[in-house]
């Protein structure tokens, strides 16, 4: 199993989904280390005035030896997106993904993300423009979308055909409509239909959180891979656990000590990537995802989350791990 994205060979079926504020270079590095076969960075706005903002430039960082380097673009204007494609490639992107799946109100209110699922004429123009610039740059372009705008308007198959005709190299379908956000039940029938009719690789996304679900979704949809998002929050080792479970046929879980080592590696890479004040603040959410529910965490939660600098945060974290006997 496996397929090509341009010059890049993708072997394996477990992909990391792009998530704003999460899938930065340190997190992608950790997930790839734990066996993710492919990882997409955080979405970047295509608007020219936003390209040089601190947030955008931080999202455009890659880790050493990352391959392929996948950048996701968000936008509603074909010309601006084509220009952003060139800009991202110049910055080091090796694959460009286009976001037609984000359900956030602030994104949809400016006709971006999954709002394009109901603006079919504009969506098709964008797909054609991106396909054209992809061919010119010899850089693969992929698409992430939802099943449709709402239950009455499911058009992922039509959008998939347009993407394929435009020269897109891969399509990822999240098994909910925009109206379903992240709350409605995922349905995989639409993904199965898309996978059966398109010739480009199709990836299934939505509520995949363990080996049983990953295996079942691959079988049911006929997709070439599954993309995992929110289930990796605080669990970047999920890729290894799924792979080991599928290989052996028995549930597999990392030891607490191995998880602690992963958290410390993540924190070290995070602080290498961001200025200290930013890193202290932005790593707090990862600590909450990692440690909520762990023995004794509630006793140190307040001190850990309110630590004013890297030194205090690090000391508090190490003291907690040592008291629990994990270091």
Q: What distance in Å separates the CA atoms of residue 151 and residue 65, rounded to the nearest whole number?
A: 42
Q: What distance in Å separates the CA atoms of residue 53 and residue 199, rounded to the nearest whole number?
A: 38
Q: Are 9 and 2 in contact (CB under 8 A)?
A: yes
Q: What distance in Å separates the CA atoms of residue 74 and residue 91, rounded to the nearest whole number?
A: 16
Q: What distance in Å separates the CA atoms of residue 270 and residue 317, rounded to the nearest whole number?
A: 15
For 159, counting Cβ atoms within 10 Å of its Cβ (0-12 exposed, 13-18 middle, 19+ buried), the class is buried
- For the record, the structure tokens of 27 come out as 């997190």
Q: Strand, coil or helix: what is 237?
A: coil
Half-sphere exposure of 144 (CA within 13 A, CB side): 33
Residues annotated catalytic, as ranges: 102
Among 165, 167, 127, 121, which Cα is nearest to 145's?
127
């Amino acid at each position: 199993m496996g397929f090509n994205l341009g010059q890049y060979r993708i072997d394996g079926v477990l992909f990391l989904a792009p998530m704003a504020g999460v899938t930065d270079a340190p997190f992608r590095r950790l997930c790839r280390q734990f066996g993710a076969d492919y990882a997409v960075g955080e979405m970047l706005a295509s608007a020219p005035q936003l390209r040089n903002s601190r947030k955008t430039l931080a999202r455009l960082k890659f880790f050493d030896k990352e391959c392929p380097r996948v950048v996701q673009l968000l936008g509603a204007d074909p010309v601006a997106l084509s220009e952003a494609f060139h800009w991202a490639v110049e910055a080091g992107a090796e694959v460009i993904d286009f976001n037609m799946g984000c359900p956030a109100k602030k994104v949809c209110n400016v006709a971006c993300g999954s709002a394009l699922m109901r603006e079919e004429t504009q969506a098709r123009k964008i797909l054609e423009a991106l396909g054209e610039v992809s061919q010119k740059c010899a850089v693969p372009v992929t698409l992430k979308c939802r099943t449709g705008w709402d239950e009455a308007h499911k058009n992922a198959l039509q959008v998939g055909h347009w993407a394929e005709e435009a020269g897109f190299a891969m399509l990822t379908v999240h098994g909910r409509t925009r109206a379903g956000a992240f709350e409605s039940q995922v349905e995989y029938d639409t993904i199965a239909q898309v996978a059966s009719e398109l010739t480009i690789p199709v990836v299934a996304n939505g509520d995949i959180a363990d080996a049983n679900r990953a295996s079942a979704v691959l079988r049911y949809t006929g997709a070439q891979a599954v993309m995992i998002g929110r289930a990796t929050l605080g669990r970047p080792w999920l890729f290894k656990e799924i792979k080991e479970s599928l290989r052996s046929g028995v549930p597999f879980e990392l030891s607490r000590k191995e998880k602690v080592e992963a958290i410390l590696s993540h924190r070290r890479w995070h602080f290498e990537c961001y200025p200290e004040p930013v890193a202290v603040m932005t790593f707090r959410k990862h600590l909450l995802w990692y440690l909520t529910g762990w023995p004794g965490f509630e006793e140190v939660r307040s001190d850990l989350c309110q630590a004013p600098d890297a030194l205090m945060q690090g000391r508090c974290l190490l003291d907690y791990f040592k008291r629990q006997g994990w270091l």
